[in-house]
Amino acid sequence: MESLNFDKYPFLAELGFEKESYGCYTNGEWKSGEETVNSVNPHDNSITATVKLATPENYEECIKSMEAEKAAWMMLPAPARGEIVRQVGERMREKKDALGSLVALEMGKVKNEGDDEVQEVIDTCDFACGLSRALEGKVLPSERPGHMMLECWNPLGIVGVITAFNFPTAVFGCNACIALICGNLILWKGSDTTPLVSIATAKIFADVLKENGFNSVVSLCQGNGIEIGELMTNDKRVPLVSFTGSTRVGRIVGNTVSKRFGKTILECGGNNAVIILDDANIEAALEECVSSAVDTTGQVCTSCRRLYLQENIYDDFIEKLVNSYSDIKIGDPFNDETDIGPLHNKAGVEIYKNAIEEIKNQCGKILTGGNVIEGDGNYVEPTIVEIDKDSEIVQTETFAPILYVFKIKDVDEAIKFNNDVPQGLSSSLFTNDLKNYFKWIGPLGSDCGVVNCNVGSNDAEIGGAFGGEKETGGGRVSGSDAWKQYMRRSTCTVNFSTSLPLAQGIKFDV
């Protein structure tokens, strides 16, 4: 069994790791079964640690201990819950460098992107703390004299959160912070391939909650993904499941939970387009396009997969784009000069290789890249491809740095092609013409959940609700009124008169 190398990775001790890592936390204790999983460093595929996984029995312990603590957490005033979430944010600030380093080590994104991911959780803590004093319902006019109506929002109970490898801490944080201030408890199943980040993040939340008298409000069940996932999605004691991952698995989660009339928040695949018109700021568009396409080695759900360029700027822009790709520094995520690190695992490399073969089979022309970089790590070349708009591979999401480029005549054709894929997460239009932009965000414009202008497809702030339409799943997390998904709404009618008039003027004489 591999034990943690504290000399090589001193930040592990700062995050509270000991010689052995356990996959379950609940009722104030860390525990596990005997089954293990390795945490692998994508830079060289060396084993960082062996983690003991949670069992189905541990899952049941989590649920029962959370049920026992549910009433106390629900009855705590929302601003008091917000204060605890604020404390989580402060602890995250203290651990930001260490946790960002662990994200880089285990996921493979460069160190500053790991830090940025932790900052997203910190920002969401701040947002949620303020929101805890602003959760509101409506007072509605009644058609009957001496009556009033109001909306009352109450927590659902236990919220299940299933997250993916590409944002191993931020996606949990964006769900947990909002769900917690709404009065819910959180049961988390992190990605099978980022167990250390799940444990470290859960420990930060759990330690703060324990200091405030709660041992099970946030519980981690880091077990076999299929096994624990099936338990959670079939469990009527978990009224809401928030899932982030592939469309294929999201469809299974959605169908399973809906069969028991549970609720879901689904954030699944993205196949995102950037459109650049000839009136745009070309230099700014180029910079944002490269960032959207290659950041996190193309493993962001909002990564730019498709680039549509107006015909008269196409040749010049492509030349600049290819030149920009030649300047991208690929390598060790902990090297300050590195722009992008490795793909997360060997499976990702195989997906990249298969996509390159399909591109060739579908008569695509590789303008740059297209190769796996030899060595111990999971490194590949960022790739630009010219291919027919109707090619089958353009309809799919390849979680790798592959960008398809196309010519378009005008904004109307661009909107058509933007919408002509099964996914609907993020989109971006570069233009300086307001007529184009308001067409872009209108009823016949982009059909995505994120519709940007003059910023990249992967540019999103926590203050807005994040998510997408169609095969992306329709869920929303983080800002705006996304909090409503974590609560149940009651419409309450109060009669404060001495008469009993019925709605719609109905008369019932007895």
Q: Which residues are catalytic?
A: 267
Residue type for position 23: G
Distance separating alpha carbons of residues 61 and 70, to the nearest angstrom: 14
The beta-strand segments (E) located in 170-262 are 185-189, 218-221, 240-244
DSSP track, 104-136:
HHHH---HHHHHHHHHHHHHHHHHHHHHTTT--
DSSP SS3 for 363: coil
CB 295, CB 113: distance < 8 Å = yes
10 Å Cβ neighbour count for 493? 12
484, 153 contact by CB (below 8 A): yes
Rounded CA separation 260/219 (Å): 23
Are 429 and 436 a contacting pair, CB within 8 Å?
A: yes
For the chain, the distance separating the N- and C-terminal CA atoms, rounded to the nearest angstrom, is 79
Alpha-carbon gap, residue 66 to 364, rounded angstroms? 53
Tokens of 96: 């930001």
Alpha-carbon span 426 to 470, nearest angstrom: 12
d(CA 125, CA 92): 9
Radius of gyration of the chain (CA): 24
Rounded Cα gap, residues 70 and 276, in angstroms: 51
